Amino acid sequence: MNPERFSSHDLTRANTLGLPCVAERFCAPGNLAELQAALAEAREQGWPLTLLGGGSNLILPPFLQGLVVRPAMTEWWQEESEEGSLRIHAEAGVNWHELVMGLAARGLWGTENLALIPGLCGAAPIQNIGAYGVELADVLEAVEVVHLADGSVNWLSPEACRFGYRDSVFKGALAGRVVITRLVLRLSRRAQPRLGYGDLASRLGASPTALEVAEAVCAIRREKLPDPALLGNAGSFFKNPLVASELAERLLVEHPEMPHFPQPDGRVKLAAGWLIERCGLKGWREGHFGVHDRQALVLVHFGGGSAAELMAFADRVADSVRDRFGVELEREPRVAGEPVLR
């Protein structure tokens, strides 16, 4: 493969924050063989490698050296399984929201609560995407990966993925070592509505369809979250923090109205957006970035800013929460550009 075929590429529109970025080299392989060839070329040339999906949970620097690979495999299909359930195969380049709506329209249950989450299927396992009481781990059966070191392919079970809250092995031991190429999801034809989160149940009748649940989730998200096409953002910028029960109890004495969710391990999950809002930061703007005026968990980009400015702004938000509540906020979007192949 001729290295000259990898040309520079403007990635400003390839990330939902709209941060200006140029890739030194770029390719979008449309099948497994093309992906393996691109990885082999990167190894041979010694290029740093960056993997890019839908750019919805990503902070891009102004320039990315080496090769940026954005898998463009976009097929999905269903495989009948035992009575009442079936497997869905979705390649890495499939748009996640479009897949969810397509499955819900077919009357298939399992992913409807995950509607309108931006990005591509290949990125979904990395942070174990979740919303409205459902996580990807609840429906995932297997993940196909290609190893960057040698181009070999293998499958990972959900256990091997080590899923946690917005976490997985792809952020840990396998970070920078594999590219996700396909997901296998297990869905059901039997009605399985999960409506216990927020006001989701109040928007639906007694026996909603999967599509009705997905559409209700979309309506709620559109009311609370800005459209990245209109206002740059990466969705939730901070994880909901998990704190010791002792700290949660102390905070509840002072703030009895504080949202809190006890966890099986004894810790308590707090609502990062509530903490930020209580610091008086909802709607706050400084320079090219701000805290969204309807959802304090979302940091927005008004244009013209840089990744460094965003990170400094986010640090000031996190500092305010720590100073007032003694709670550390952890950033959710990952930062691109760390060389993972040389």
Residues recognised as catalytic: 166, 236, 332
- For the record, the structure tokens of 216 come out as 């209700």
Please, are residues 226 and 301 in contact by the beta-carbon 8 Å criterion?
Answer: no
Q: How far apart are the first and last CA of the chain?
A: 18
Beta partners for 63? 22
Residue with tokens 């591509």: 120
CA neighbours closer than 13 Å in the CB half-sphere of residue 299: 30
- Alpha carbon dihedral 331, 268, 276, 324, in 10-degree steps, equals -110
Distance (Å) of CA 122 to CA 41, 80, 126, 267: 21, 22, 8, 30
- Supply the DSSP symbol for 336: P
Tell me the one-letter amino acid at 214: A
